[in-house]
Structure 1
Amino acid sequence: MAHILNCILFVFICCISIVNGVIIAPVPTTGGGFTATLSSGPNSYAKDAIIQYNRILCPNSNYNAGKYTVTVAGNYLVSVTMMSGTVTAHTTLMKNTAIYVWLYTGNQYDMATQTVYMQLAVGEMIWVKMTNKASILFDVYNTFTVVQVS
């Protein structure tokens, strides 16, 4: 439950600003961001498969086939949350062809979250992939969020 609350807090932090005690809307940028999750139930992935989050909650045309392509250079907050249900799983957040961070969950409906600050250039791509072995990601508890912060 704590991971879900962290993700909700992350979205709120990225979506609002408080100036002199007044909540103001963020200034939109052309780079923007998005949030996506998986569909309900078990979602099977082969080893090294790109996780294609198919339930888009906050759309952006820079996200396609599981990969986010940077169109505006800048600083980004990227968050990945995963749960594999009753099996173990490893995923990695990829930046171009390099592993940026790892996530791991055990087989007791454990959850894992990585939220990282990334400096990204135009044309770079980030995505999440299944690592080490084929496995299952369970339900809507798996999210991928990208937000440009500057």
Structure 2
Amino acid sequence: MMMTHIFTCILFVLMFRSSNAAFTATLPSGNHFYPQNGIIRYNRMLLTDSAYNSNSGVYTVTTNGTYSVSVTMMSGTVAAHLTMRKNSAIYVWLYTGNEYDMATQNVNMNLVIGDQIWMQMNNQASRLFDVYNTFSAVRIP
């Protein structure tokens, strides 16, 4: 009986240690132009998770669970509308006006293996400014 309890505890620890997904990415310094419907490719990794593809800007879920997903944006001198997408559908919107406004959304999402999350520019010819733009996700154990 004691041995079964020990094995159960070890299995529990291994499951949570190996399945905790997390990443944070930002943009490099400078102004970044995006066309309408352009996917934001956050390619400066602050915390790496292989499920986030910095070349495409898409996070593909590899472990079922509840995730805290966050995006912060600064647009510089032009207004911008950004959307957080889940499997192509708009999940939440962000908006900034002129003069280096900032916006943030933080949501908890139930995600399953294969779900995809990304940020997408919705208005024409907009810019994001500098390292103030971040995209993060972490699985809540």
TM-score relative to the length of structure 1: 0.80
Matched-pair identity in %: 60
- Would the aligned equivalents of 2:20 and 2:140 in 1 still touch at CA under 8 Å? no
1:111 aligns to 2:91 (yes or no): no
- Would the aligned equivalents of 2:84 and 2:119 in 1 still touch at CA under 8 Å? yes
CA offset digits 1:125-147 (Å, max 9, x no partner): 00000012220000000000000
Question: Which ranges of structure 1 fall in alignment gaps of 5 or more residues?
Answer: 1-26
2:72 — aligned with what?
A: 81
- Would the aligned equivalents of 1:86 and 1:108 in 2 still touch at CA under 8 Å? yes
1:68 — aligned with what?
A: 59
Q: Give the match's secondary structure for 2:41.
A: coil
- Supply the distance in 2 between the matched residues of 1:47 and 1:31 (Cα, whole angstroms): 34
- Supply the distance in 2 between the matched residues of 1:50 and 1:28 (Cα, whole angstroms): 31
Pairwise CA RMSD of aligned residues?
1.0
Q: Give the match's secondary structure for 1:28.
A: helix
- Supply the distance in 2 between the matched residues of 1:29 and 1:133 (Cα, whole angstroms): 41
- Would the aligned equivalents of 2:84 and 2:120 in 1 still touch at CA under 8 Å? yes
- Would the aligned equivalents of 1:31 and 1:148 in 2 still touch at CA under 8 Å? yes
- Would the aligned equivalents of 1:70 and 1:122 in 2 still touch at CA under 8 Å? yes
Number of aligned positions between the proteins: 124
- Supply the distance in 1 between the matched residues of 2:65 and 2:38 (Cα, whole angstroms): 27
Q: Give the match's secondary structure for 1:80.
A: strand
TM-score relative to the length of structure 2: 0.85
Q: Deviation at 1:62?
A: 0.3
Kindly provide the amino acid, as one letter, of the partner of residue 34 in structure 2.
Answer: Y
Which structure would you say has the larger Rg? Answer: 2
